[in-house]
Structure 1
Amino acid sequence: METERESTKPTAVPPSAAISAVLGDDDLLREILLRLAFPTTLVRAALVSRRWLRHASDPAFLRRFRRLHPPALLGFYLRELGARAPRFVPVSRAPELATAIRRAGAAAGQFFISDCRNGRLLVTDFDPTACRHAVLSPLRPAHGKTVLPPAPKRSLIWFFLPEKAAGGGAVAVLMLPLGTSTKAKLQVDLLASGSGAWVVRRTAVIDLPETLPPIAYTLPPVRGKIYSLTKSGRILRLDMNAAEGSLLQLPERVSTDNFTLSSGEEGSMLFLIHAEGDLLSIWQLPTTSSDAHDWALVHDRVPVREACRRREDVLVLAVDDNLELVFLWLRSSAVLMHMHLKSRSEKVYDELKVRDGRFLDINPFMMVWPPVFPALRDDDNLDG
């Protein structure tokens, strides 16, 4: 009787069989990979087998992964007025990003950063014999430094990194005044990775709203448009598709030039981050909009607690591409800090001993996206 009772007991499933049943299900495997949080961990997981690599590198999966885990901010490069080399300040403390942070901090040389995106730096290299432009890839040390050939001599040149190009690719935007003071030729040149010459990609004769004002800085081209902040605190929009330029109307409350601009990673919105005393406000304007008054308020008068505590005003310095961290300068205390907009957490960098925040150059440095997966050879020993 006892023997009969024992025979009706369910047979225990070995743990290895249960794990195989879960990981053998493609849908469950994708859901597990989706919870890895960091692209670096995803790349390591892809080394388990060809099947894991196939799922991890699938474009549809990567779109889902990016929505849940935007590229992480590793830190920022900080250069003070008169300094010939920037220093790297880590922000993330995630152990999964320790190697990337160490490599970012190892970028050496005397240079000024012109553009910083997707794990690369476009720098003006202070060579002892010449001032030249170069591309650095700190997260991929084997790429070294790619020195760019001289761009055509023009009246005004801005250099950028293309969003999706790797290695030494670069973009040059050239502005050449024509005859009258309210007309200019705008030209976008592309230097593809490994190419030895600039290639003209598009040109347009732009009607300017007024004489070209002095430019403080210019954002990378987005969707056929170039946005520049003038030294008088106005926003100049150059539309290559419509062949016209315009000065954007600032949001009603923005009466000072204490703001910065960003087009984010996607380039679908122009963001304006403004400080009023110890309060931050952020507006967005669709880059597809033809209405210069179409600003929408995203964050309204967010208090900067550290500035409130010290009873002083803040100066807006920079923002990362994900619009998560805003870098600020406390005017009276002469201290650099940042605020995480979503959590409202703050960090003060007393230890940096920055002399004057008005002349700081800050470049937030992000992880590479999409992740770089290994290229398998036929003899690579990956099962699946």
Structure 2
Amino acid sequence: MESKTDRTEPTAPPSAASAAAISAVLGDDDLLREILLRLGFPTTLIRAAAVSKRWLRHASDPTFLRRFRTRHPPALLGFYIRELGARGPRFVPVSQAPELATATRRASAAEGRFFISDCRNGRLLVMDFDPTACRHAVLSPLHPARGKVVLPPAPKQSLIWFFLTENGGGYDGAVAVLMLPIGTTKTKVQVDLLTSGSGVWVAHRTVVIDLPETLPPIAYTLPPVRGKIYSLTKSGHILGLDMTAAKSSLIQRPDKVRTDNFMLSFGEEGSKLILIHAEGYLLSIWQLATTRSDSNDWVLVYDKIRVHEAWNRLEDVMVMAADDNLEFVFLWLRSSAVLMHMHLKSRSEKVYDEFKVRDGRFLDINPFMMVWPPVFPALREEDNVEG
């Protein structure tokens, strides 16, 4: 005989009292903002903003977006990897969140014959493998309708680096940093910050800066942030150039960083300079406030993090890359010749056994993040289902 628990009762429609309660909650702007704040992903926030112009107004409010970013930093979708001799990069997903599946699929579709010069905020700055001319272009994999934006031909000078603009939004431009040593002693340098537009490079800012010593050979340069440029020299020091104050500094690495096995990046939207160092199977992470006058006041954030995969194999690791939120660090195991990543907060590790190269210095790794701020679609009048 069928029991009451075996029967499936039909779902009753919400009562008038329940509907009134729901309407009271969603009609309260303060409560609505708190609900939107807990959505978790920018993609979900965009879908919620499509409900009505009122919801869009709250979701796109700059104050609300600052709170949302603090609570839910832009997620790492995956990374682009290019091995020596490969025709181009391939995308490897990291996020398994269903809410990001569409974004991950679009990032995977952006593979091609090019070299990635810069990668941030959901965009790629690439250099085509064109036998007739090497040209730079901007790709927006998460917004394929924007297509490919080809940049003007590069200026014919040395010591030039190309980067994406700080805050992409709907703009697909790029900036170039040009350093020209002045005089025979090379203790002065002219720094030009160029922006792309109307088919040419335009000087956005030019400044002459005295250097603390002769301009040293530069290994690589970080993207300009808040008028400041940081370059790692081949001697292991960090050259800082402040274009606003027209000053320079030679930053020493922390005393405990005794090897050259480290990399630099930015954290907290450019307010922190991050140094990730590996020694044996241990990681240490330091940060330096870019707003402080003491250019050598490093703060130790993580000390002697054990990379268990390397410890188990009794081998050293090489620092390859890190995402913008300093959530994931990508490492290369020297002896096993495999790539892995560590999630710093949980200390979880993942080994990518499919990637085996003899020398990690020939691996090009570019972590790929979600776009911030979100790009909200415009609502039509007929989509405005509530006031």
Q: Above 0.5 in TM-score?
A: yes
Quick check: 95-104 or 201-210, which moved more? 201-210
Matched with 1:277 is 280
Matched with 1:8 is none
The offset of 1:164, in angstroms, is 1.6
Does the Cα contact within 8 Å between 1:283 and 1:298 map onto a contact in 2? yes
The offset of 1:355, in angstroms, is 4.3
Give 1:263-302 correspondences, 5 Å limit.
263-302=266-305
Partners of 1:20 and 1:296 in 2: how far apart? 50
Quick check: 197-206 or 311-320, which moved more? 197-206
Give ranges in structure 2 of 5+ residues lacking alignment.
Answer: 1-14
Partners of 1:132 and 1:147 in 2: how far apart? 7
Does the Cα contact within 8 Å between 1:143 and 1:167 map onto a contact in 2? no
Question: Is 1:175 the equivalent of 2:179?
Answer: yes
Partners of 1:203 and 1:270 in 2: how far apart? 23
Does the Cα contact within 8 Å between 2:281 and 2:315 map onto a contact in 1? yes
Question: Is 1:303 the equivalent of 2:324?
Answer: no
2:145 aligns to what SS in structure 1? helix
Amino acid at match of 2:174: A
Give 1:323-334 correspondences, 5 Å limit.
323-334=326-337
Does the Cα contact within 8 Å between 1:258 and 1:316 map onto a contact in 2? yes
1:140-175 residue CA offsets vs partner (Å, 9 max, x unmatched): 000110100113222211001111233431101111
Partners of 2:147 and 2:375 in 1: how far apart? 17
Matched with 1:30 is 33
Give 1:112-127 correspondences, 5 Å limit.
112-127=115-130
TM-score with structure 1 length normalisation? 0.92
Quick check: 366-375 or 288-297, which moved more? 288-297
1:26-48 residue CA offsets vs partner (Å, 9 max, x unmatched): 21111111111000000001111
2:254 aligns to what SS in structure 1? coil
Does the Cα contact within 8 Å between 1:148 and 1:168 map onto a contact in 2? no
1:62-98 residue CA offsets vs partner (Å, 9 max, x unmatched): 1111110000000001111222300101000000000
Does the Cα contact within 8 Å between 2:91 and 2:111 map onto a contact in 1? no
Does the Cα contact within 8 Å between 1:123 and 1:136 map onto a contact in 2? yes
2:368 aligns to what SS in structure 1? strand
Give 1:1-384 correspondences, 5 Å limit.
14-165=17-168, 166-180=170-184, 181-192=186-197, 195-384=198-387
The offset of 1:189, in angstroms, is 0.8
Does the Cα contact within 8 Å between 1:47 and 1:382 map onto a contact in 2? no
Going from structure 1 to structure 2, the CA distance change for 1:216 and 1:83 (only over 3 Å counts) comes to farther
1:247-287 residue CA offsets vs partner (Å, 9 max, x unmatched): 21110111111000011251011010001111111111111
Partners of 2:52 and 2:374 in 1: how far apart? 17
1:84-126 residue CA offsets vs partner (Å, 9 max, x unmatched): 3001010000000000000001013211111111100011111
The offset of 1:354, in angstroms, is 4.0
TM-score with structure 2 length normalisation? 0.92
Going from structure 1 to structure 2, the CA distance change for 1:265 and 1:123 (only over 3 Å counts) comes to farther
Partners of 2:290 and 2:245 in 1: how far apart? 13
Give ranges in structure 1 of 5+ residues lacking alignment.
Answer: 1-11
Amino acid at match of 1:172: A
Does the Cα contact within 8 Å between 2:84 and 2:362 map onto a contact in 1? yes
1:376 aligns to what SS in structure 2? coil
Q: How many residues align?
A: 371
